[in-house]
Chain A
């Protein structure tokens, strides 16, 4: 079987779906190949920006602006075929029904709250961040002790006073947007599948060869196919695609090997889900000693509030995953700061993200076939949407 398209997109997550949407809107013919078995297996796509400032110290202002709810909404809505709901704390307090379409993805608005022990070296970092946020006009609110604890997701207020001899300081930052990844993916995939048809959206595709005549590949069923590419082939670089891309570069364009190796630094995150006895404040995302903490749940919080706490912890020393440090950090936060006396771990997982040293697309010459590798297709989903839009506008 053989057919011709203008653009062939290869990727594992939402990036090729977004790109397909944009290209089809331009009137191009598109096909998507996913070497993975499903579009839902890419776990590097995050609902929110974890704000890992170690890498992006200089562009704080840009980063903050990109995460503002309206900006997140604008980034998301371009390629999304249906409604996206905006939701903030006040809506619920005013008894406004937050969701009009239940299957629509939401952009939830949550404050960011940085906290640290006054005795810790991190307190200085928090203070410095506060001052910079103040300079930038973000109106941060400096908090201490109980007023800080009251805002932080998961803190047991009953025991906070009795148990905490330490002084805790921090500040409440602006509201940022976070996105319902699952619903966004589902809506997008459903629409793209309808527009492209099954013939042009294939999973578990194993690429056998590329040249000017097209791309030969095989599906899991063993069916060999060829797609003739009229204009360009685009690869969307995500952690799941890394090995595949490495093989492609080794095979077709050796000059890209050093660039490919230097483009990213792998960053692993421990993803914990723990159960809280008390309802958790759903409207704040906490930052505490290298960890990000928020109430885990979908849609409208139940009357008592959610009681699952999601904690993302960055792996500091490579190979020290789920190490004594992980447990000490986590327990330190839950026992010492939040005032818990025990915690139940529901789930622990790994998320791999990248720290990008460059973001411009890379050109790949595959035996005469023009291909581009689009970088930075992981991380917060609204970033991916933006990155893909810029990349597609450039081709």
Chain B
């Protein structure tokens, strides 16, 4: 085989790291637009046609990017600045049995949800209490994939999510627990037991799965390492569609401007004063927005029993997003977005500009809802990704007022149904009936009767009849694909045709720790099997009738910090005690962690934490080892 390399030169190379699914990302597009406007030559490398193999850092700044196209031709690009975009993968700090099929990362859970492979009519534990974790819990509950979800916050004493998301989660029946995972052990092929330590209390929970979402460490956005090298790693926060995750979308956009400004100042020229001014303006606005987005206000309501405490009731009444003069026959929006959340989707969607958000630099909301202008159209209810707004038709002179609540769950509610009305933490306050139903958009609105004195307490509802229906029916789980017979380790099994081997193993309860579908694109190389006598990756091999599958590696659950090199926390600590290295590079090199098959995917964040415990500075560290994943070249 004769290798030919195509050489090129560029100013800014924006690279798709392993496991990036949608390319280019929103952040990459924003960054490129700004840089190219400044006259820099920018290239996106990645996606389906081009696989970036890695970066070799240069001696001063930038470096050499090596990639391979679909025809296996090699490309070598010399770039002055390199931005590598990587997805977040949050795995917890190792505990007993953490590396087992019982614990799956969020990306895996989402993939299985999309394929219809999840059907857990029992408890699911999510590790993490950030917005992403809470939203996953909401989806599981809304879609009826799980009847009970508990989010476990183990690294902080307060939840990491917005109050509005937490409210949505708790209204649906979700719970947040502040405890540390101690042990995960298997009970049967489909059930696991997780032991959680909450102070002196130990919880033993029988769970269908544990999903690791995080965050387990602060989100740093982009990092330049070594400082001044123009070698930047950017953790992509954008998860899916804008509607689902506005905050991540905005975060990426704002970070793109800040990063572009850094690159342009270092590499570009400011011949156009107009451009410089527009960049400065955008930079200022982005920094403001980042301050809002990155701030974790940890706001939470306080209750006296089921009722809001008087001070918080007063806070709601004073908040500019809630109506002050409720009038009979007038429907008006009430938006209790008390935290300084920077999404502003409702503001953009309001057809009559009745929502105009103004906040001070410290995050205090000065202006929000123009009550007189609100027509009660309900567009804000439709638009809000966190389902915050409710429509109120208040009549203090009567004992009953009405609320219009958006209802996104799959449980069917119709006009005339009896419902239980819930407070903000999902506790039943009173029962009522549905007066009317409006379907104008994706989210149907239900008009319910509410005792007037509870108009500021009720923020959710649930149909008892529908709840029972979900418990018994499998209507939300529809099996796709016909079943075929395959041989797994010599036993005959019936699995769905056309799905990946790793998914099939998961569905029949035979998955190994290495089959937890971490990478989805074969980049981690962990899930090797022997299919019909040929070594393949389970996540890249499709099931067909009569297939013979054998496991090629041991697949015992592990408590090790580095399952690839079989290193425990104690062993790594012992090595450190001998070397007492002072830098993170030396720590990693001398302890031999992150040098295994997974290239640090499983162990990097835990190793960073271990290094921090040993007072090694890890701030901003980026591992530029080449290649990013095992790279197989064939004859």
| Cβ-defined partner of B578 (8 Å) among A103, A323, A343, A349 | A103
A residues less than 8 Å from B625 (CB atoms) = 347, 349
> Cβ of A341 < 8 Å from any Cβ of B?
yes
Contact B585 A41 (CB under 8 A): yes
Q: 1/0 per residue B70-85: CB within 8 Å of A?
A: 0000101000000000
Q: 1/0 per residue B584-626: CB within 8 Å of A?
A: 0110011000010000000000000000000000000000011
Contact A40 B581 (CB under 8 A): yes
Q: Who on chain B is nearest to A193 by CB?
A: B580
Q: Who on chain A is nearest to B64 by CB?
A: A322
Contact B76 A328 (CB under 8 A): no
Q: 1/0 per residue B100-115: CB within 8 Å of A?
A: 0000000000000000
Q: Which of A120-128, A182-190, A209-217 contacts B (4 or more CB under 8 A)?
A: A182-190
Q: Output the residue of A182, A323, A344 with the most chain B CB within 10 A.
A: A344
| Cβ-defined partner of B633 (8 Å) among A189, A343, A347 | A343
| Residues 551 to 587 of chain B near chain A (Cβ within 8 Å) | 578-583, 585-586
B residues less than 8 Å from A347 (CB atoms) = 595, 625-627
* CB contact under 8 A between A350 and B634, given known A186-B578, A321-B64, A335-B1: no
Q: 1/0 per residue A197-211: CB within 8 Å of B?
A: 000000110000000
Contact B578 A328 (CB under 8 A): no
| Cβ-defined partner of A40 (8 Å) among B74, B590, B631 | B590
Contact B632 A343 (CB under 8 A): yes
Contact B578 A331 (CB under 8 A): no
| Residues 1 to 21 of chain B near chain A (Cβ within 8 Å) | 1-5
> In whole angstroms, how far apart are the Cα atoms of A322 and B585 in the complex?
23
Interface size class of A (residues with CB under 8 A): 20 to 34
Interface size class of B (residues with CB under 8 A): 20 to 34
* CB contact under 8 A between A327 and B579, given known A341-B635, A348-B56, A348-B627: no
| Cβ-defined partner of A38 (8 Å) among B2, B3, B586, B630 | B586
B residues less than 8 Å from A327 (CB atoms) = 3, 5, 74, 633
A residues less than 8 Å from B578 (CB atoms) = 103, 186, 190
Q: Who on chain A is nearest to B625 by CB?
A: A347
Contact A203 B582 (CB under 8 A): yes
B residues less than 8 Å from A204 (CB atoms) = 582
Q: Separation in Å of the A5 CB from the closest CB of chain B?
A: 21
| Cβ-defined partner of A342 (8 Å) among B76, B525, B634 | B634
B residues less than 8 Å from A331 (CB atoms) = 1, 3, 633, 635
* Chain A contact surface mostly: mixed
Contact B634 A324 (CB under 8 A): no
> In whole angstroms, how far apart are the Cα atoms of A321 and B630 in the complex?
20
Contact B582 A38 (CB under 8 A): yes
> In whole angstroms, how far apart are the Cα atoms of A321 and B78 in the complex?
12
Contact B56 A346 (CB under 8 A): no
> In whole angstroms, how far apart are the Cα atoms of A368 and B635 in the complex?
63
> In whole angstroms, how far apart are the Cα atoms of A275 and B2 in the complex?
21
Q: Who on chain A is nearest to B632 by CB?
A: A344
Q: Separation in Å of the B614 CB from the closest CB of chain A?
A: 13
* CB contact under 8 A between A186 and B634, given known A327-B74, A347-B595: no
Q: Separation in Å of the B77 CB from the closest CB of chain A?
A: 12
Contact A186 B4 (CB under 8 A): no
Q: 1/0 per residue A313-338: CB within 8 Å of B?
A: 00000000111100110010001000
| Cβ-defined partner of A41 (8 Å) among B1, B525, B586 | B586
Q: Separation in Å of the B536 CB from the closest CB of chain A?
A: 13
Contact A41 B631 (CB under 8 A): no
| Residues 490 to 535 of chain B near chain A (Cβ within 8 Å) | 525
Contact B56 A342 (CB under 8 A): no
> In whole angstroms, how far apart are the Cα atoms of A342 and B590 in the complex?
30
| Residues 447 to 491 of chain B near chain A (Cβ within 8 Å) | none
> In whole angstroms, how far apart are the Cα atoms of A323 and B76 in the complex?
8
| Residues 111 to 157 of chain A near chain B (Cβ within 8 Å) | none
> In whole angstroms, how far apart are the Cα atoms of A347 and B589 in the complex?
13
Q: Separation in Å of the B584 CB from the closest CB of chain A?
A: 9
> Cβ of A195 < 8 Å from any Cβ of B?
no
Q: Separation in Å of the B347 CB from the closest CB of chain A?
A: 47
* CB contact under 8 A between A38 and B632, given known A186-B590, A348-B627: no
| Cβ-defined partner of B579 (8 Å) among A186, A324, A348 | A186
| Cβ-defined partner of A324 (8 Å) among B4, B56, B525, B632 | B4
> In whole angstroms, how far apart are the Cα atoms of A327 and B631 in the complex?
13
B residues less than 8 Å from A254 (CB atoms) = none
> In whole angstroms, how far apart are the Cα atoms of A41 and B525 in the complex?
29
Q: Who on chain A is nearest to B626 by CB?
A: A348
> In whole angstroms, how far apart are the Cα atoms of A41 and B589 in the complex?
9
Contact B627 A324 (CB under 8 A): no
| Cβ-defined partner of B627 (8 Å) among A38, A345, A350 | A345
* CB contact under 8 A between A275 and B583, given known A40-B590, A324-B4, A348-B56: no
B residues less than 8 Å from A103 (CB atoms) = 578
Contact B630 A342 (CB under 8 A): no
B residues less than 8 Å from A193 (CB atoms) = 580
State the B residues within 8 Å of A (CB).
1-5, 54, 56, 64, 66, 74, 76, 525, 578-583, 585-586, 589-590, 595, 625-627, 630-635
Further pairs besides A103-B578, A348-B54: 13, Cβ < 8 Å: A37-B582, A37-B583, A40-B579, A189-B579, A190-B580, A324-B5, A327-B74, A331-B635, A335-B635, A343-B632, A344-B633, A345-B627, A345-B630
Kindly list the 4 A-B residue pairs having the minimum CB-CB distance in the complex, ordered from nearest. Answer: A40-B586, A327-B3, A38-B586, A324-B5
Q: Could you list 23 examples of A-B contacts with CB < 8 Å?
A: A37-B583, A38-B581, A38-B582, A39-B586, A40-B586, A41-B583, A186-B579, A203-B582, A321-B56, A322-B56, A327-B74, A327-B633, A328-B2, A328-B3, A340-B635, A341-B634, A341-B635, A344-B525, A345-B627, A345-B631, A347-B627, A348-B54, A350-B56
